[in-house]
């Protein structure tokens, strides 16, 4: 059993290595040079675009909710409003640096309009005369039962000379619509909408950490403090926003929500050899593992070329 697990682990590591090695090298000319007759000064930078699609389920209680049980026989009418948010999709990708420079760090792309609160001029209002809330609820309840009776009479052809075909269908749809508007005044209304957000996140300059510090054999024999160590690029954690199921997307300063962050892990790569006498500079990107995380959950993971973790190579003059 242990051997099977070991073989499976080796196969998984090999698959990840092959995936990274299969990624093409991406490069960008940097420094000062002339391109298409114009002087160009360019640095290799990476900006990430994080897209979040949030679904919110909202409920607004009806103005007659307190009378629903007594006048309609519905004891389950809710009296308070509520909203529940969830992340339905997310992505992380590369974007244009120039567009980031012109845009805000956060851009809300789309927001489907919510029905929101009930209008002050309610659909059951029949005149300009003001009536107290309980009386208005009683009138609305009576009309609901009247509409139901009219529907039954239409279906059984007991109303007038009878309505048939498309006329009957149209009349029934209109009755259903009006009854729904009146019923919402007692039972409230629910809606589901989606909010789409895009965040532009610039990758920070690379930093290094010391790893693999171990006593040498000679030091252990002679009880000396001589040690060997090496440095490596530190992974980055870029904060995007915070999220709460009760409040939705929140700014980073609002600690009610869990953190949404981008974690970048650089990979070991082999770059072309640099020519010390070369006059042309190219900066190669590192094919890094980029993960978008919410709390302890990984929403999406990709391999993306990140210039901040790459290296600059000199080449000879191009002919």
Number of domains in the chain: 2
Q: How far is CA 39 from CA 31, 42, 98, 235, in A?
A: 10, 10, 17, 35
Residue 9 lies in a domain: no
Torsion sign over Cα 245, 246, 250, 254: negative
Contact between 78 and 65 under an 8 Å Cβ cutoff? The reply is yes
Instruction: Flag whether pLDDT at 203 surpasses 90.
Output: yes
Dump pLDDT digits (tens) for 211-270: 765 554 545 555 445 556 688 899 999 999 999 999 999 999 999 999 999 999 999 999
Residue 99 lies in a domain: no
Q: Which of 302, 299, 295, 290 minimizes the C-alpha distance to 263?
A: 290
* Backbone dihedral angles phi then psi of residue 222, each to the nearest 5 degrees: -100, 5
Q: What share of the chain is helix, strand, coil (3-state, %, to 5)?
A: 25, 40, 30
Whether residue 243 is found in the same domain as residue 172: no
Instruction: Flag whether pLDDT at 189 surpasses 50.
Output: yes
Whether residue 156 is found in the same domain as residue 238: no
Whole-angstrom distance, CA of residue 186 vs CA of residue 65: 4
What residue numbers bound the domain in which 135 lies? 56-87+115-193
Dump pLDDT digits (tens) for 10-43: 444 444 444 444 568 899 999 988 888 899 898 8
Instruction: Flag whether pLDDT at 68 surpasses 50.
Output: yes
From 170, 193, 216, the end of a domain falls on 193
Whether residue 74 is found in the same domain as residue 160: yes
Whether residue 189 is found in the same domain as residue 251: no
- The model carries a pTM of 0.74
Whether residue 72 is found in the same domain as residue 152: yes
């Amino acid at each position: 059993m242990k051997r099977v697990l070991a073989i499976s682990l080796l196969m998984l590591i090999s698959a990840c290595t092959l995936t990274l090695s299969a990624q093409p090298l991406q490069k960008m000319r940097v420094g000062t040079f002339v391109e298409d007759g114009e002087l160009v000064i360019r640095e290799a930078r990476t900006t990430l675009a994080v897209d979040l699609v949030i679904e919110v389920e909202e409920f607004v209680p009806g103005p007659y909710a307190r009378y629903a049980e007594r006048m309609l026989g519905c004891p389950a009418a809710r009296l308070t409003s509520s909203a529940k948010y969830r992340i339905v999709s997310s992505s992380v990708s590369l974007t244009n640096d120039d567009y980031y420079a012109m845009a805000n760090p956060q851009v809300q792309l789309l927001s489907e309009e919510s029905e929101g609160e009930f209008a002050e001029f309610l659909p059951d209002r029949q005149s300009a005369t003001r009536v107290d809330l309980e009386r208005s609820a009683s009138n609305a309840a009576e009309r609901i039962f009247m509409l139901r009776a009219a529907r039954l009479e239409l279906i059984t052809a007991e109303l007038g000379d009878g309505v048939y075909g498309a006329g009957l269908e149209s009349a029934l749809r209109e009755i259903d619509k009006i009854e729904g508007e009146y019923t919402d005044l007692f039972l409230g209304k629910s809606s589901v909408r989606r909010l789409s957000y895009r965040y532009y996140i610039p990758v920070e300059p690379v930093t290094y950490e010391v790893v693999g510090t171990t006593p040498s054999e000679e030091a252990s024999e002679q009880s000396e403090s001589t040690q060997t160590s090496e440095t490596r690029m530190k992974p980055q954690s870029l904060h995007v926003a915070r999220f709460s199921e009760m409040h939705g997307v929140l700014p980073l300063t609002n600690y009610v929500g869990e953190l949404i962050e981008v974690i970048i892990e650089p990979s070991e790569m082999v770059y072309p050899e640099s020519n010390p006498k070369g006059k042309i500079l190219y900066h190669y990107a590192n094919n890094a593992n980029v993960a978008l995380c919410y709390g302890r959950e990984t929403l999406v993971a990709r391999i993306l070329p990140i210039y901040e973790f790459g290296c600059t190579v000199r080449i000879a003059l191009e002919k």
